[in-house]
């Protein structure tokens, strides 16, 4: 089965990757449901601080996907969120290309609604882009959008975690003032929201740099092709290069959008219907709709019955180089020395053991944990050695013959000198103190 965090969250399969960690589908043993778990991959203090800041956000809104809980286990930490199965806006545009204007208005209204809740908490998202806007798998019903990934979000007035001359965000979705090093503010999120809306209407990433230059040199351009004029007026107010000329709040942009949506023509009967599919795919082997197909023991160990796979999933986890995944290897257990009865015929290692090999020089493994193969020795006649006649009546026992097929067990070395000498000195001191105490009686 999968790796279990803090005896509660069992990782099933990787489903994506965020700015600072991989996102997994995981089973919550306490709440008995699947959740999305973001696992921190970096171990440096800077990444850990961002991770702690992200998991501290608690925004309860139907169009915001914020962390719900967190857990730590040894040197790994994670936080969990609701599991959203419909993929991102990137998946939707990849399936259908440019989307109809009424459908885009619905998505844009939900995005602005979630953004208004985020801004009401004094938080600037700083990374609004299609990949960070997720969708519930609603089929042909009304879409439901969730704003996610607060990895670089920050509250107004909080200290920045980057140097003053560095810009954090996604190229192509940065506001002009961000490129000039201005402090993060709400209008920068609204600028990125306008670019996301253009992406949905045109089916391709807009050229933000060319758009800003056109606005600065020639003013507001005319509506692009296939973008209705009422909707373009709203988007143009979001995309103004001067932050003072944009909408000041997401709520104000929502009101303007609602007025523009009423002016749009009704969709025709032959217009393609948009369906939001389940993008996660089937559960991996060993997991079912009601969780893992076995229970955990009291100590958190795998309670699956022994089989040819040893209770482990038959599907190998992706390697560290694959996008959206990492390997959680099982703990390395030291091998026992080969017994004399095994001989050369059973000298192979356990096929289920890790493939990494260790030598006696490896400081992580004690010498007794290194397997020593049995070495057959030829029969050597022992010379007769006279024994002192302490008991003339007792005959010395014959020397046992060494079988040519018998393995010689390696002699286990004693403790090193740097350990043995201090122990010996301590023992002598204790011995002297004991004699002194007896003399005082």
Question: Are 98 and 226 a contacting pair, CB within 8 Å?
Answer: yes
Place of tokens 């944009």: 246
127 part of the active site: yes
Please, which residues bridge with residue 36 across strands? 25, 81
Question: Are 94 and 130 a contacting pair, CB within 8 Å?
Answer: no
The kind and range of the H/E element at 431 are helix 417-440
Question: Which candidate in 13, 28, 127, 149 is catalytic?
Answer: 127
Q: What is the DSSP letter of 24?
A: E
Question: Are 232 and 264 a contacting pair, CB within 8 Å?
Answer: no
Place of tokens 């965020």: 18
CB neighbourhood size of 334 (10 A):
12
Measure the CA–CA gap between 370 and 87, rounded to whole angstroms.
Answer: 48
Q: Closest Cα to residue 257, out of 396, 109, 428?
A: 109
Question: Are 280 and 15 a contacting pair, CB within 8 Å?
Answer: yes
CB neighbourhood size of 298 (10 A):
7
- Residues annotated catalytic, as ranges: 127
């Amino acid at each position: 089965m999968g790796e279990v965090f803090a005896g509660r969250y069992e990782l099933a399969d990787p489903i994506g990757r965020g700015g600072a960690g991989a996102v997994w589908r995981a089973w919550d043993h306490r709440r008995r449901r699947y959740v999305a778990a973001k696992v921190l991959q970096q171990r440096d203090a800077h990444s850990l601080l961002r991770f702690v800041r992200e998991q501290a956000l608690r925004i309860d809104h139907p169009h915001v996907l914020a962390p719900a809980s967190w857990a730590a286990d040894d040197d790994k930490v994670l936080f969990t969120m609701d599991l959203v199965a419909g993929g991102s806006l990137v998946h939707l545009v990849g399936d259908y290309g440019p989307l109809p204007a009424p459908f885009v208005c619905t998505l844009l209204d939900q995005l602005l609604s979630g953004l208004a809740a985020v801004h009401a908490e004094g938080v600037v998202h700083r990374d609004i882009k299609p990949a960070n806007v997720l969708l519930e798998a609603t089929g042909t019903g009304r879409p439901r959008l969730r704003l996610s990934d607060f990895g670089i979000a920050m509250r107004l007035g909080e200290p920045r975690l980057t140097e003053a001359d560095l810009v954090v965000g996604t190229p192509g979705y940065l506001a002009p003032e961000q490129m000039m090093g201005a402090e993060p503010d709400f209008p920068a999120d609204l600028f990125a929201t306008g670019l996301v809306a253009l992406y949905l209407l045109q089916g391709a990433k807009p050229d933000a740099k060319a758009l800003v230059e056109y606005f600065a040199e020639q003013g507001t351009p005319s509506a692009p092709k296939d973008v209705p004029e009422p909707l373009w007026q709203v988007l143009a107010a979001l995309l103004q290069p001067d932050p003072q000329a944009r909408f000041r709040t997401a709520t104000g942009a929502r009101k303007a959008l609602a007025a523009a949506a009423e002016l749009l023509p009704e969709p025709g009967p032959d217009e393609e219907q948009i369906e939001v599919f389940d993008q996660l795919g089937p559960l991996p082997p060993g997991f079912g709709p009601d969780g893992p197909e076995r229970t955990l023991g009291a100590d958190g160990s795998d309670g699956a019955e022994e089989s040819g796979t040893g209770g482990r999933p038959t599907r190998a986890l992706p390697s560290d180089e694959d996008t959206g995944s990492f390997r959680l290897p099982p703990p390395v257990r030291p091998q026992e020395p080969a017994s004399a009865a095994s001989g050369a015929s059973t000298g192979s290692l356990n096929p289920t053991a890790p493939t990494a090999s260790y030598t006696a020089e490896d400081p992580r493994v004690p010498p007794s944990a290194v397997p020593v193969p049995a070495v057959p020795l030829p029969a050597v006649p022992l010379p007769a050695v006279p024994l002192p006649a302490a008991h003339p009546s007792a005959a010395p026992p014959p020397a046992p013959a060494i079988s040519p097929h018998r393995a010689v067990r390696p002699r286990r070395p004693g403790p090193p000198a740097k350990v043995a000498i201090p122990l010996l000195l301590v023992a002598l001191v204790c011995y002297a103190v004991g004699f002194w105490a007896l003399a005082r009686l």
